Structure 1
């Protein structure tokens, strides 16, 4: 790949469309600044036509002198774009449905009118000096030939790029790769991925799009978004680095977790302890084989350094532990354990963990160790 992958973050637009989520205006400004510090290329700041309160906060973001491009989201309607222009954004997303199910049941119109409406909006935006992304809503359920015609028409109308929207998250990585590759080859325009997580494949589909040549990936912090959410920025950045092996030095990965924690609080959506990339327990090891490997060399079972994400590696002692983990934990208390004692202690650890249905605390482990010593003394004196 010879093109840089850029991120369009839509936390402040699609992320806030998560059912029940509302960001305070100051929170939106602060999130925008954190995204900019992280290295995001473009921020979709909201929907200007929603009203004066929305426009006020978008204007404040625009006036914050961020390095990132600031985009306003619009329907394919001139008055929407006029509202974006009033906010001072440098880029607009112009969105209209392209699938027959949407055209018939949502828009109550025709394919021809969809094209005409999109062209009018795109040409108006370009005439006013804006960067334009034309969005095909429900692209993944759109007839392929009409989708190609839609994107070709958008290019002719002056669009700088097109957005492929897997609006209901129905795609898989293979079909995503194939359709994006075809669009790029036949339309010759930059493609942005906008993937939803209804089937749990939002990040995978975004990366598949990148592999096919897409240069913009749409993301949200913590995967916020309609229904099951969007591709999460934290997963996408780490996938670009560790799965695609691309240069990700333009993103300050050490700032990811603070951003995710802040958005989690602002959205009242807690981060699962097992959430990929940012969950606080993803570097916890209990299984004997895994713990032994991680103790000897973390690279055996970790592709990311916990410190890079502000997280901590822990070796838990429980039902699935082995003697190596037990001996290692006791060393923290300057206790050297021989193999026989560790093996005897392991049986106690497993039985106790099963009875408690959890891993053990250090105090519980030390108590079991002392019991093991007493058992050994009893055997010697018998």
Structure 2
């Protein structure tokens, strides 16, 4: 992949992820999460909001002191005082955020488009004067007037901004609209790199992130497990694997660490990772249906997009209502009991009826009980 086509992954678990209602990370957890993400090769970590107070600034300083390879960036309002707070933490990259849709300009900050332009010039000029890398964050950009966004991006470009963050703050876009909007901005202001920051209110965050890349964005904002306000953000693990598998774009992240970082963030956020969560759920490589299990046992590529080991998981063949002969043989092999296909065929009816009775898959103890009963029956 050429440098001109490279896609960069920014993770905002420590900022937008922690803004999830009821989620709080302590300093130890923030350090652990940051180290995991850095060791995986994530390119940038949005690590907090210095203007929140001294405790937040202390945790950011602790992250700066780790000397990570990933670029650390903080979130700031477009205020000189916010940027000064970031500088005091040892931060060298900042996102300066402004509301850019008319509804927010009028009904949230009670200002005007001209005020937004002037505030951007003031904050951006100060930040660049301090030698900072600057991302200009367009809050609610997905609902903003397209011509105004172009004007704002040109102002940002002319005053030295390094990139523009296109935020689908309410998660209202579909992938077609995301592609169209990002492509238009990219064509109008090609000198300014674009980041897409997608929310998952309609379950489209990952799709929208990829659509943004198709439209010319080079940065994607993500969170581990899709953590974030309301329905969350584009999930790091989904975005990276979708880029790799569906788009043929390898962003250079060690995906084998996904399970570990997913469980770490799940514990720290008190939000258990659902067993069927895309990419990192514990059961996403479980197979029960006779045809599917048989196909996977013959060649995993029949029913798996990528090996489970690629994301730190393992494959499971489950014995249940829909099991076939080969699946039952494998289920017994997994618990250390070799049986033949003929034996599996004889056990099949009991496996299926047991699954029907318990309304779920058979555990090891259930399989063992059926096997022992058959052994006793044969010996009688």
TM-score normalised to structure 2 length: 0.94
Q: In the TM superposition, what whole-angstrom CA distance separates every residue of 1:80-122 from its partner, at most 9, and x where no partner exists?
A: 1111111111111010111111011101111111111111111
The 3 A distance-change label for structure 1 pair 364 and 56 is closer
Cα separation, 1, equivalents of 2:85 and 2:341: 71
- Distance in 1, matches of 2:225 and 2:329, equals 37
Distance in 1, matches of 2:12 and 2:331, equals 44
Q: Give the superposition deviation at 1:278.
A: 1.0
Matched, 1:64 2:77: no
With 322-331 and 194-203 compared, the bigger mean Cα shift is at: 322-331
Aligned: 1:223 with 2:231: no
Distance 2:120 2:228 in 1: 24
Partner of 1:247: 250
- Alignment partner for residue 216 of structure 2, among 213, 218, 224? 213
Task: Give the aligned partner of residue 240 of structure 2.
Answer: 237
Correspondence 1:333 to 2:354: no
Residue 47 (structure 2) aligns with: 45
Corresponding position of 1:259: 261
**Higher mean Cα deviation, 26-35 or 80-89?**
26-35
> What secondary structure is seen at the aligned counterpart in 1 of 2:37?
helix
1:274 matched to 2:271? The reply is no
| CA contact 2:326–2:341 (8 Å) conserved in 1 | no
Aligned residue number for residue 149 of structure 2:
147
Conserved 8 A contact 1:330-1:336: no
1:330–1:337 CA contact under 8 A, matched in 2: no
Does the CA contact (< 8 Å) of 2:325 and 2:341 recur in 1?
Answer: no
- Paired with 1:353 and 1:269, the residues of 2 have a C-alpha distance of 29
2:137 to 135, 138, 142: 135
CA spacing shift, 1:255–1:369, aligned 2, 3 Å: closer
CA-based RMSD: 1.8
> How far has the Cα of 1:184 moved from its partner?
0.6
Where structure 1 has 5 or more consecutive residues not aligned to the other structure, the ranges are none
Change (3 A) 1:320 1:41: same
Distance (whole Å) between structure 1 residues aligned to residue 120 and residue 52 of structure 2:
20
**Mean Cα deviation higher: 366-375 or 36-45:** 366-375
Matched with 2:204 is 201
**Does structure 2 conserve the Cα–Cα contact (< 8 Å) formed by 1:306 and 1:312?**
yes
> d(CA) in 1 for partners of 2:44 and 2:358?
50
Q: 1:28 and 1:367, CA in 2 relative to 1: closer, same or farther beyond 3 A?
A: closer
Deviation at 1:349, TM superposition (A): 2.0
Distance 1:60 1:328, change over 3 A: closer
Provide, for residues 215-261 of structure 1, a one-character-per-residue CA deviation record: whole Å limited to 9, x for no partner: 1100111111111111111111111211111133x211122221111
Question: Which residue is 1:190 aligned to?
Answer: 193
CA separation in 2, counterparts of 1:367 and 1:263?
38
Please state how far the C-alpha of 1:148 moved relative to its aligned partner.
Answer: 1.5
SS at match of 2:121: helix
**TM-score if structure 1 supplies the norm length?**
0.93
Q: Secondary structure at the match of 1:176?
A: helix
Partner of 2:359: 357
Aligned residues: 375
Matched residue SS, 1:14: helix
Uncovered stretches (5+) of structure 2, i.e. residues with no partner: none
Aligned counterpart, 2:96: 94
The Cα of 1:377 is off from its aligned counterpart by: 9.6
Q: Matched residues in 1 for 2:15 and 2:377: separation?
A: 64
Q: Distance in 2 between matches of 1:54 and 1:373?
A: 64
Q: CA deviation at 1:156?
A: 1.3
Aligned equivalents of 2:185, 2:103: Cα separation in 1 = 21
Distance in 2, matches of 1:362 and 1:255, equals: 28
The separation in 2 between residues aligned to 1:201 and 1:48, in whole angstroms, is 30
Deviation of 1:174 after TM superposition, in Å, equals 0.9
Q: Determine the structure 2 residue equivalent to 1:123.
A: 125
Cα deviation, 1:18-74, whole Å, max 9, x if unaligned, reads 001111122212222221111111111111111111111111211211111111111
Range moving further from structure 2, 142-151 or 354-363 = 354-363
Query: What SS class does the counterpart of residue 8 from structure 1 fall into?
Result: strand
1:10 alignment counterpart: 12
CA–CA separation in structure 2 for the residues paired with 1:214 and 1:353: 49
Alignment correspondent of 1:303: 305
